[in-house]
Structure 1
Amino acid sequence: MFTDLSTLILESERLRLLPITDAYTDLIFREFTPEVATYMHPRPATERSETEAFVEAARAGNREGYSLSMVITDRQSGDFLGCVGLHKLADKRPEFGIWVKQSAHMHGYGREAIHTLKRWADDHIPYEYLIYPVDSRNMASRKIPESLGAAIISQYDDTGGMGQELTLIKYRIDRGTPTL
């Protein structure tokens, strides 16, 4: 779809979204904890090499343009806050993914990052709608697609990477819905 997204930088009022690079491997390894992953499919890496493999796969997706994986940083300080992505870019229904480190929870960074990525998608991707999957119990994360006027399109039970039971809700986010 795209030839190379590895240099894309997106900014919002408080955030700078940067393409994922090796420089963030240690931070991702340290901050993607079992507490952060409670309601998620991926399980935290137990060895740094697993995070290295994730970062390399994400970088390949950015270079080849089939996925966009970015780190969320504080625009002023440059502090690492988490990761955000928009995957399956060639599909009619690309899918968001996001996590924010534990110490940055409850500051609206996730919502601001998704809204920023949504604005970029509206301008650059010919999608039918965007998908935002979230566990039904993750009320803070559910508020993100709801802030974009999203509608629930399905719900199903699944198992996360740590063996935890999940009840996933898939939200549909349409083009042109309000953003921050």
Structure 2
Amino acid sequence: MRDIKMDLLSTEILTNRLRLKPVSMAYKEEIFSEFTEDITKYMCPRSPQHIAEIEAFIDNAILDLKKGSDLRLVILKKDSQEFLGCVGLHGMLGKTPEFGIWLKKAAHDRKYGLEAIRGIKNWAEQNLDYEYFLYPVDRANIASRKIPETLGGKVVREYEHKKTNGNILYLLEYRIERA
């Protein structure tokens, strides 16, 4: 079982090119400007209309970090500290935590998503008691589907999900086993 004393607010994960650190208000402007309609096309949430929505997201993320239920991190380039997006591991108190990720448009096609998810997976294998990971992704989002497939994920469920804007996502839920 995860050590109750683990401080997720100070968790930092380093990979070859990336630094993952807890989301904070320091990144609200970048999150607001980069979490666009185009980025959220295959995601459940819609793009924010007002920065207050991002502030509420960050406040909730910090509460979840304090509770130990979700690890929500910003993705930064290690060398320049450039903001690239956000990544999370949700439902950490259960046996099947779920990955989530988004990258700003300028960071696409560089395998940052795979590197970030792999970094969190490696961290979780050292720090969490779980059975396997889940990774839901819209079936049309080929680039994002490559992440769980590269990590050995297998589709275990297909379902529809209505987005907050009313559009329908056609999700494939991947199961990723422990290493």
Query: What TM-score, normalized by structure 1, do the two folds share?
Result: 0.95
Distance between the aligned counterparts of 1:62 and 1:25, measured in 2? 17
Aligned amino acid, residue 155 of structure 2: I
SS of residue paired to 1:171: strand
Q: Of the candidates 57, 61, 64, which is equivalent to residue 67 of structure 2?
A: 64
SS of residue paired to 2:31: helix
Q: Of the candidates 95, 98, 103, which is equivalent to residue 100 of structure 1?
A: 103
Q: Of the candidates 83, 87, 103, which is equivalent to residue 80 of structure 1?
A: 83
Distance between the aligned counterparts of 1:146 and 1:161, measured in 2? 27
* Cα offset, 1:163, TM superposition: 2.3
Aligned amino acid, residue 165 of structure 2: M
CA deviations on 1:18-55 (whole Å, 9 max, x unpaired) are 11111011111110000000001011110110100000
* Cα offset, 1:84, TM superposition: 0.2
Q: Of the candidates 110, 113, 119, which is equivalent to residue 113 of structure 2?
A: 110
Unaligned 5+ segments in structure 1 are none
* Cα offset, 1:164, TM superposition: 2.1
Distance between the aligned counterparts of 1:77 and 1:109, measured in 2? 14
1:154 aligns with 157
SS of residue paired to 1:91: coil
* Cα offset, 1:8, TM superposition: 0.5
Q: Of the candidates 157, 167, 171, which is equivalent to residue 168 of structure 1?
A: 171
Q: CA RMSD in A?
A: 0.9
Higher alpha-carbon deviation: 48-57 or 3-12: 3-12
Distance between the aligned counterparts of 1:142 and 1:39, measured in 2? 11
1:119 aligns with 122
SS of residue paired to 1:141: helix
Question: How many residues get paired?
Answer: 176
Query: What TM-score, normalized by structure 2, do the two folds share?
Result: 0.96
Q: Quick one: percent identity of the two aligned structures?
A: 45
Aligned amino acid, residue 26 of structure 1: E
Q: Residues 40 and 161 of structure 1 are in contact (CA less than 8 Å); yes or no, is this contact kept in structure 2?
A: no
User: After the TM superposition, which residues 2-81 of structure 1 pair with which residues of structure 2 at under 5 Å, given as runs?
Assistant: 2-3=4-5, 4-81=7-84
SS of residue paired to 1:112: helix
